[in-house]
Structure 1
Amino acid sequence: MTTRLQSGDALLIVDVQNDFLPGGQLAVTDGDTVIAPLNRWIERFQAAGLPIFATRDWHPAAHCSFIAQGGPWPNHCVANTDGARFATALRLPKNAKVISKATTVEVDAYSGFGGTDLSDLLQHTGSQRLFIGGLATDYCVLNTVLDACRLGYNVVLLSEAIRAVNVQAGDGARAIAEMQAAGATLLEESPE
């Protein structure tokens, strides 16, 4: 069975950036395995003429989330560096709408909705149902999905296109349960 795409659907790809892939500054285990299923979803959304959005961390060099500034993370996704670029293998179309987040020194944002115009852009395109995949399940995907649910979007979480950091064992599974409790639907199919 294949999920039927319809008017009002949008694809939202969360933070598939080099620093979150193997070898990156804040690598997610098997983070690169989300790329192939996301590319298949991109193809489906393009074929249907539906909008595609992609969030990215776009940090200043002295961002508050970095260890040197007292934050929990190593330097990662610093704006205009190779680590902040989308994965080379990710086939984002030129018309994809890119949302940069956590762009000021003093504010962190795990959610694609945090301090951005993502909600306005989604409303402008008439998007009501969001298909969401990316990195990492237990941080940026979790917070983006929770905000989307709070804002009234129907959220479809692409299980084959998410991976967790798992700072604590089981964080990814707990994040999925929390997203489902908030109203997200977990989709286990992969587009052909």
Structure 2
Amino acid sequence: MNHPVSSRAALILVDVQPDFMPGGALACHEGDAIVPGIDQLLRRDLFKHVVATQDWHPADHVSFASSHPGREPFDRIPLYGHAQTLWPPHCVQDTPGAELHPSIDWTHLDTVIRKGDDPRVDSYSGFRENHGPHGKRPATPLDEWLRDQGVDEVYVCGLARDVCVLWTAQDAVELGYRTHVLWDLTRPVSPDTDIPTRLRFENMGVDVIESSALD
């Protein structure tokens, strides 16, 4: 079934960065497998609006296990009243692992939303940071940028399916966007999460489709 793309739709490419791919600091399962498909999708020029998010952490970021003596990656700690997973240092500003993937032609990209640059707060969603010291989730510029372009529908893909893609899609729904996830152009941190992640998308009202359906 073909899925026509509206002129009021935007493609959101979440954290397509080498550190989230095999050999990177925080590799997703088969994360590099999405690179050719994303490159091909961009070359099809179906979207009037294209935005990428970019994880962009200082070296002393609060989410890094190395910032918490005695802790290991994937430990969970309380932070500002919420559970925080501690990660290996990744996507450190101005390192090769933090760059947008070099095998993708980014010519059609309109803007980049950097996230996670506040050393005190983690940031999974492209729309809002995680809960910070003041109890709120501060907004990134993404929602304002999309509304300035007249966008009312988003297609989300990238990494990781079960973390940043999930949080971005969830916020998109809460902000009132018609939201689709391009399942074949995402990969998880762990494939064990795929069934519950897909169920969460469906329960949120997210339309889960394949990129081959786009027209």
TM-score, scaled relative to structure 2: 0.82
Counterpart of 1:8 in structure 2: which amino acid? R
Alignment partner of 2:59 out of 61, 65, 80: 61
Counterpart of 2:199 in structure 1: which amino acid? A
Any idea what SS the aligned residue of 1:7 has? coil
Q: Distance in 1 between matches of 2:42 and 2:179?
A: 17
Q: State the Cα distance separating 1:41 from its structure 2 match.
A: 2.1
Alignment partner of 2:200 out of 135, 158, 178: 178
Alignment partner of 1:83 out of 97, 102, 105: 97
Deviation string 1:118-162 (CA, Å, 9 cap, x unpaired) is 000000111111111000011100100000010011111101100
Report runs of 4+ in structure 1 exceeding 3 Å deviation: none
Q: Which residues of 2 match residues 27-106 of structure 1 at below 5 A? A: 27-44=27-44, 46=45, 48=46, 50-70=48-68, 72-93=86-107, 95-106=109-120
CA contact (8 A) 2:10 2:47 kept: no
Which residue pairs with 1:113 in the alignment? 127
Which residue pairs with 2:22 in the alignment? 22
Identity of matched residues, %:
36
Number of matched residues? 188
Deviation string 1:28-74 (CA, Å, 9 cap, x unpaired) is 12101111221222123x3x460100001000110011011236111
CA contact (8 A) 1:28 1:136 kept: yes
CA contact (8 A) 2:64 2:89 kept: yes
Q: Residue 85 and residue 31 in structure 1: after superposition, are their counterparts in 2 closer, same or farther (change >3 A)?
A: same
Q: Distance in 2 between matches of 1:183 and 1:85?
A: 32
Q: Distance in 2 between matches of 1:158 and 1:97?
A: 20
Which residue pairs with 1:164 in the alignment? 188
Q: Distance in 2 between matches of 1:95 and 1:137?
A: 21
Q: Residue 18 and residue 127 in structure 1: after superposition, are their counterparts in 2 closer, same or farther (change >3 A)?
A: same
CA contact (8 A) 1:11 1:42 kept: no
Structure 1's unaligned 5+ residue stretches are none
Alignment partner of 1:149 out of 166, 173, 190: 173
Over the residues paired in the alignment, what is the CA RMSD in angstroms?
1.6
Which residue pairs with 2:6 in the alignment? 6
Q: Residue 92 and residue 142 in structure 1: after superposition, are their counterparts in 2 closer, same or farther (change >3 A)?
A: same
Any idea what SS the aligned residue of 2:89 has? coil
1:131 aligns with 2:129: no
